[in-house]
């Protein structure tokens, strides 16, 4: 029946994970709509592929731990290749995060996987690093994610469970009735009715919110990544290095080093192009922390979007005001790291049996509901 259909707008990691969980739970008549020719063409394919569960937000960290377990031990048949290369993560936190660090370590399934390291151990694990060493930790069970395999696993499982996946299917507007969303109208004029419509559209969530009459607001922020030219002195087995005080991270990539200076410029999603001047900003930070990398030139520079809402927490669940409209959005760059967990929670909301626990409440869009008293 058409009135039992669930629509998912967006074929990146959030939409794919939600579709997979719906399929696992036996949901029928689920349709995933992606406006591009390729699935996962934007934020999913432009990210740094890093599993880092230290996020500073309890709810995000909880979903990251859930997803880390999924990556290490995915369901049978989900993938033929490892989803995680646990090459390790060097986390340089400085001296101001003791309480956050303690809470995070205690929340890990194996707290002993996080160990303080001294200058000698830091130099041994990452010889090129020459920045501050105070508050440096070795996280042995985190590392690089095979994003392509993860996305394909979600999509393959969704298709096997009966989800219809349609590309080049752009949503032009929403079908509305009784102050709620009852489906979508595509750019080619086709109308699809549905009981629930989930927006998993990354940076385009804001435009869709306005079109649907939602009060929720979104802010897409651009971030650049650069890969240096190959250098034979680079060891591909070096771990990820993440400096929290400097807002900088790096890891080996394609014979060179991937560098990110964690820039954040608010941009329109269709205008998320590369700013050539960003290389100076990246080089400035790299010169302080890993000056050896400055011997290599830039081989590849690109930009991607990270989308936020006003309190920087995820939006997973029903819209506060628009019936039938759901959100799996404002993931703030944590979509890959939290994919399995957020997909599970989103599917539960769409099937109307979401848990009433602290995690679900922290991420529920209805936290923004305006009451008569306010």
Q: Is the dihedral of CA 351, 357, 360, 361 positive or negative?
A: positive
CATH of domain 2-45+148-218+310-368: 3.50.50.60
- pLDDT tens digit sequence for 96-119: 667 788 899 999 999 999 999 999
Q: What does each C-alpha distance from 143 to 40, 182, 235, 246, 252 come to in angstroms?
A: 21, 42, 15, 20, 11
Pick from 49, 50, 11: nearest CA to 31: 11
CA angle at residue 270 from 265 to 274, to 5 degrees? 50
> What percentage of the chain carries pLDDT values higher than 90?
91
Q: Quick one: fold of 89-141+220-306?
A: D-Amino Acid Oxidase; Chain A, domain 2 (3.30.9)
The tokens of 45 are what?
A: 């394919």
**Which pLDDT score, from 0 to 100, does residue 248 have?**
97
Q: What does each C-alpha distance from 39 to 11, 36, 101, 202 come to in angstroms?
A: 5, 7, 36, 13
**Which pLDDT score, from 0 to 100, does residue 374 have?**
41
In the 8-state DSSP scheme, what is residue 343?
H
**Which pLDDT score, from 0 to 100, does residue 98 have?**
76
Asked if 200 and 151 count as a contact pair (C-beta separation under 8 A), the reply is no
The tokens of 359 are what?
A: 């995690």
Side-chain half-sphere CA neighbours of 146 within 13 A: 17
For the chain, what are the domain ranges? 2-45+148-218+310-368, 89-141+220-306
CA 47, CA 96: separation in Å to the nearest integer? 27
The tokens of 269 are what?
A: 């999603």
The pTM is what?
0.96
């Amino acid at each position: 029946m058409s009135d039992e259909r669930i629509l998912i707008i967006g074929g990146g990691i959030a939409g794919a994970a939600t579709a997979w969980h719906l399929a696992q739970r036996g949901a029928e008549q689920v349709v995933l709509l992606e406006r591009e020719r390729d699935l996962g063409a934007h934020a999913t394919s432009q990210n740094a592929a890093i599993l880092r569960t230290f996020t500073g937000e309890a709810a995000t960290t909880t979903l990251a731990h859930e997803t880390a377990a999924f990556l290490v031990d995915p369901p049978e048949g989900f993938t033929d290749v490892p989803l995680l290369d646990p090459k390790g993560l060097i986390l340089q936190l400085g001296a101001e995060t003791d309480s956050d660090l303690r809470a995070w370590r205690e929340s890990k399934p194996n707290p002993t996987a996080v160990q303080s390291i001294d200058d000698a151990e830091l130099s041994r694990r990452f010889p090129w690093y020459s920045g501050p060493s105070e508050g440096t930790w070795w996280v042995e069970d985190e590392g690089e994610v095979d994003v392509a395999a993860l996305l394909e696993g979600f999509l393959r499982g969704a298709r096997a469970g009966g989800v219809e996946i349609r590309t080049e299917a752009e949503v032009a507007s929403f079908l509305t009735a009784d102050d709620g969303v009852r489906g979508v109208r595509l750019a080619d004029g086709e109308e699809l009715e549905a009981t629930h419509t989930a927006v998993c559209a990354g940076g385009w969530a804001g435009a869709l919110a306005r079109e649907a009459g939602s009060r929720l607001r979104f802010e897409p922020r651009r971030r650049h990544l650069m890969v240096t030219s190959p250098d034979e002195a680079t060891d591909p087995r070096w771990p990820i290095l993440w400096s929290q005080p400097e807002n900088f991270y790096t890891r080996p990539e394609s014979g060179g080093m991937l560098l990110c200076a964690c820039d954040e410029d608010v941009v329109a999603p269709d205008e998320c192009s590369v700013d050539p001047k960003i290389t100076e900003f990246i080089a400035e930070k790299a010169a302080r922390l890993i000056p050896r990398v400055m011997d290599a030139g830039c081989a590849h520079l690109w930009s991607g979007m990270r989308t936020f809402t006003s309190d920087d927490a995820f939006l997973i669940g029903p819209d506060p005001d628009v019936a039938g409209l759901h959100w799996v959005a404002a993931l703030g760059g944590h979509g890959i790291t939290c994919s399995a967990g957020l997909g599970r929670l989103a599917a539960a909301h769409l099937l109307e049996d979401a848990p009433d626990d602290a995690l679900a409440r922290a991420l529920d869009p209805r936290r923004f509901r305006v009451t008569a008293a306010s």
